[in-house]
Amino acid sequence: MIETQGITKAYDKTVVVDNVTLQIPAGGVTSIIGPNGAGKSTLLSMVSRLLPMDRGRARVAGLDVSATPSDALARRLSILRQDNHIGSRLTVRDLVAFGRYPYSKGRPTPEDMGHVRTALGYLNLGSLADRFLDELSGGQRQRAFVAMVLCQDTDYVLLDEPLNNLDMKHAVTMMQLLRRTADELGKTIVLVLHDINFASCYSDYIIAMKDGQVAFQGSPREIIRPEILRRVYDIDIAVHDMDGNRIAVYYSANGLVNGAAGGAAGGHAPREIIPAGNDRVH
């Protein structure tokens, strides 16, 4: 289980994550959704000790992330951020092999190399294994990083927008893969997602954030609803039931803040709960 207790992060006076207390159950796929600047990535970074928190504490599998030695945590928890810039010239296999560093400290055993092969196969990277990262497309590189994180073989896997740079086919494949990892290997997957429909179709649990706080949490059926999505995203979003999934349609949404779209009479939805001046950090 991942627990946070009142964690807070502020830059100068801008509070990015505001006193969040949260429990993410072990096992399954949990998605964190919300508009830009809601504090999703910051929350994930603090839980994974990439960013120190100003206040509060976070525990993963009972380990306090601020107090536990980093290398012990690296065998329980892995995190992948959005843009990963690498200075050195690496092949895909080199990168994925780094996932074994917490265990082998740079001296991979045959068993480690077995894990590397499995991870490469899992993400369909076998044919690209010896290509250099800078020769790959953005999506292929993204998959290589995910392979590294899976190769780390931790119980908890945190991914910040893993669908970045992926086309439809690879996005679906990635979500299916994560779903399978959770189901077959019993891992706990936590994702930050922008595409709420992927969140709806693949998650067990959804956490909706807004303005640095958890606005709503629950099963996809509880969260993917027009009245809740409107309060999270400030636009009218229609939700349809399709083949047992709830699909949100927002491409021609009315009621944008500042009336940017649908200026016709009656197009404006009443704005609730959002006090003025809250639209920050983009």
The contact set with other proteins (CB under 8 A) reads 48-51, 69-75, 78-81, 84-90, 94-95, 98-99, 101-102, 105-107, 149, 152
Q: How far is the CB of 14 from other proteins (least distance, A)?
A: 16
Amino acid at 221: R
Question: By C-beta, is 69 or 275 nearer to other proteins?
Answer: 69
Q: Which residue has the tokens 């525990």?
A: 59
Beta-carbon count within 10 A of 204 CB = 16
Question: By C-beta, is 113 or 215 nearer to other proteins?
Answer: 113
Q: How far is the CB of 51 from other proteins (least distance, A)?
A: 7
Q: How far is the CB of 50 from other proteins (least distance, A)?
A: 5
Q: How far is the CB of 41 from other proteins (least distance, A)?
A: 11
Question: By C-beta, is 120 or 158 nearer to other proteins?
Answer: 158
Q: Calculate the alpha carbon distances from 245 to 221, 224, 225, 271 in Å.
A: 9, 10, 12, 28
Question: By C-beta, is 63 or 172 nearer to other proteins?
Answer: 63
Which residues lie across from 157 on neighbouring strands?
78, 189
Q: Calculate the alpha carbon distances from 235 to 28, 119, 199, 240 in Å.
A: 29, 40, 18, 16
| Pairwise CA distance, residues 33 & 281, whole Å | 16
Q: Sort strands 14-24 and 28-33 into parallel, antiparallel or unpaired.
A: unpaired
| Pairwise CA distance, residues 69 & 150, whole Å | 21
Question: By C-beta, is 3 or 94 nearer to other proteins?
Answer: 94
Among candidates 98, 144, 138, 112, which has minimal Cα distance to 125? Answer: 144
Q: How far is the CB of 72 from other proteins (least distance, A)?
A: 8
Q: How far is the CB of 85 from other proteins (least distance, A)?
A: 6
Question: By C-beta, is 50 or 61 nearer to other proteins?
Answer: 50
Q: Which residues contact 258 (CB under 8 A, 6 or more apart)?
A: none
